[in-house]
Structure 1
Amino acid sequence: MDPNSTYSSPLVSRYASKEMSENFSNNTRFSTWRKLWINLAKAEKQLGLEGISDLAIEQMENNVYNIDYEVAQEEEKKRRHDVMAHVYTFGLVAPEAAGIIHLGATSCYVTDNGDLIIYRNALDMIIKKLVWTISDLAKFAKEYRALPTLGFTHFQPAQLTTVGKRATLWLQELLMDLRNIERARDDLKFRGVKGTTGTQASFMQLFHGNHEKVEELDQLVSELSGFSSSYPVAGQTYSRKVDVDMLSPLASFGATAHRIATDIRLLAHMKEIEEPFEKDQIGSSAMAYKRNPMRSERVCSLSRHLMTLIGNVLQTASVQWLERTLDDSANRRITIPEAFLTADIVLSTLQNIFSGLVVYPMVIDRNIKQELPFMATENIIMAMVEKGGSRQDCHEEIRVLSHQAARVVKEEGKQNDLIERIRSSSYFAPIIADLPKLLDPSTFIGRAPEQVDTFLEKHVDVALAKYSQTLEAKTEAQVNV
């Protein structure tokens, strides 16, 4: 079938990385099932279960990736059961194991355990990209630690801050996301070998009522599958609350990403900061001069989708009747992969933005000069008082001049001329020589540069310290591009 004649999810065809797309592919899913069947057979054999030969295990191991999808699809049409279709398909290429594949297990042995393996791999990928993203933004914050810029509250000009200090506000939220995603990853356990309704009854039968061996089987299969432990109890599935705990930090990251990208879009409108713009990139089909913040817009667009997906897993977790109900299945097949694919591309896009942000100091300085005269009035008043003036008289003088300047700006569309008015006023003659110092933007930024330094050293560097190899891999990847 022509791939262009049917719908294809843009998350895969247009956005997400090859790495994340492959993690949720059929090849990964069904080869993981086969590895789980091998681990089960190995553990059962090790614990003394008869009828599992070395040849059977060898044949299974030699055919992990030899998946005949046509056979599996035909069998699933017949049986209406995907797991049994793949048991049958695996048995065709591992005939010595055909009778023992899936021995004692329920479908959720491979579906749930397989999902948990895939989800943990996906979380590792997300953490890696988040670490890279934080590292790039930290470099930006350090470079612009002391560059004064207008601060905004209510998107109205407020006291000055620095470009680097503003970046630490973004960084702090990304560090929270890293902490939350790390916690979700480390909290993931294995469903293990729990049987049809979680009672392990089938394995009790296989091991003739030996509780110790059944417990040992659960632990051994978990370890063979890369988990130190399994959830202590389960119904037919692992608790769907696990999915809530896993997607919540991804949704929260979506909120962070949306906020950061929105800030960049606002700053781009002011022409203070722009995202990277490639040499041959087109901003508008009609307006050739435009440099639209399309990367930041994409981050906002996809982040909105990411934030909505948590509602699905919350609702799914809330309606799991008794030991399980199957209305979770179709929903989870869509929701959870989409959450990871979306988070993946949002991170890749943010990293691209942070690694090439363009700052325009002259525009920033021009915008400061439009507002700084008003902000400097208190400094001017205090300087006049030091020269022997009356605070009340000075306040009234500067109030009148400020209102005149504001009217010129708002009603006539002219530049802020408050400083020129002050220079022309004989009242302010005692401090005219001090005006350059009183209007120096660097004197209005408080401890912003030092706050950046402290934050990077005590928080960002500490959080990234254990990821030295991940950061080295990023550097190597950049060199090899």
Structure 2
Amino acid sequence: MSWLANIATSCEKILQEIRNLQRSELAEAGEGFDVKKQVGSSTMAHKKNPIKSENASGLARIVRSFIIPTYENALLWHERDLANSSSERFTLSHAPTLAEDVMAKTADVLTNMWVDKDRCLANIHSQKGLVMAEKVMIELVDHGVPRDEAHEVLREASFTALANDEELIDVCSRTPAISAAFPPRNSKRCLTR
């Protein structure tokens, strides 16, 4: 049962990410949508609900919930009574079927999903390089700066960029602790890859 629950949970993690990326404000990726056959949202005509992902996520939760009765069934009187029988008839017959359905829906979503590369880049650029702060921090550590110091330097640079609506690369280029570790050309490389 744990194995089936883990598979269903892994599928749900993938589908949850796709559902989040499909939200209107992100719109970076999502499950395929057949305009001729699907309606989408019943209240917002423009919205394309990730129905398969939502459905499979709900079923994965049911598979995961079968773990509790499975463990409860280990408690038998004098090593054998029939208290486990009624719940096992349900969990053992339903869990594999539901897990298979979750896997099939996940495969279908992954096969037919879309990715908007331009929107991904636009979202990255809207963050003004902040998504690359970790990479600069790691480069600083690789250049001999202690990790806690590198983290603090990037934290301050990130907050400065946010407060002043600046690109992180511009703040990094004038931050002595960063520019001393490597030339501006290298900091630009860190923030663009």
Report the TM-score when normalising by structure 2: 0.69
Alignment of 1:202-281 (within 5 A): 247-269=1-23, 270-280=26-36, 281=38
RMSD over aligned Cα, in angstroms?
3.3
Q: Structure 1 residues 258 and 363, CA, compared in 2 at 3 Å: closer, same or farther?
A: same
Return the alpha-carbon distance in structure 2 between the equivalents of residues 402 and 316 of structure 1. Answer: 53
Indicate yes or no: 2:74 matched with 1:325.
no
Alignment of 1:16-31 (within 5 A): none
SS of structure 2 residue aligned to 1:327:
coil
The aligned residue for residue 356 of structure 1 is 112
The aligned residue for residue 290 of structure 1 is 47
The aligned residue for residue 337 of structure 1 is 93
Return the alpha-carbon distance in structure 1 between the equivalents of residues 55 and 46 of structure 2. Answer: 20
2:104 counterpart letter in structure 1: S
Return the alpha-carbon distance in structure 1 between the equivalents of residues 188 and 113 of structure 2. Answer: 31
Q: Structure 1 residues 329 and 372, CA, compared in 2 at 3 Å: closer, same or farther?
A: same
1:275 Cα deviation from its structure 2 partner? 1.1
CA contact (8 A) 1:373 1:439 kept: no
CA contact (8 A) 2:56 2:105 kept: yes
1:286 Cα deviation from its structure 2 partner? 1.7
For residues 213-259 of structure 1, give each alpha carbon's deviation from its aligned partner in whole angstroms, at most 9, with x where no partner exists: xxxxxxxxxxxxxxxxxxxxxxxxxxxxxxxxxx1211122221222
Alignment equivalent of 1:418, drawn from 167, 171, 174: 167
The aligned residue for residue 68 of structure 2 is 311
1:268 counterpart letter in structure 2: Q
Alignment of 1:46-125 (within 5 A): none
Question: How many residues are matched?
Answer: 163
5+ residue gaps, structure 2:
141-152
1:373 Cα deviation from its structure 2 partner? 2.9
* Rg comparison, structure with higher value: 1
Deviation >6 Å, runs of 4+: 419-422
1:288 Cα deviation from its structure 2 partner? 0.7
Return the alpha-carbon distance in structure 2 between the equivalents of residues 346 and 304 of structure 1. Answer: 10
Relative contact order (alpha carbons < 8 A, sep ≥ 6): 1 or 2 greater?
A: 2
Return the alpha-carbon distance in structure 1 between the equivalents of residues 4 and 10 of structure 2. Answer: 10
Q: Structure 1 residues 439 and 372, CA, compared in 2 at 3 Å: closer, same or farther?
A: farther
SS of structure 1 residue aligned to 2:21:
helix
Identity rate of aligned residues, in percent?
A: 25
CA contact (8 A) 2:129 2:191 kept: no
SS of structure 1 residue aligned to 2:83:
helix
Return the alpha-carbon distance in structure 2 between the equivalents of residues 341 and 318 of structure 1. Answer: 26
Q: Structure 1 residues 282 and 320, CA, compared in 2 at 3 Å: closer, same or farther?
A: farther
CA contact (8 A) 1:299 1:346 kept: yes
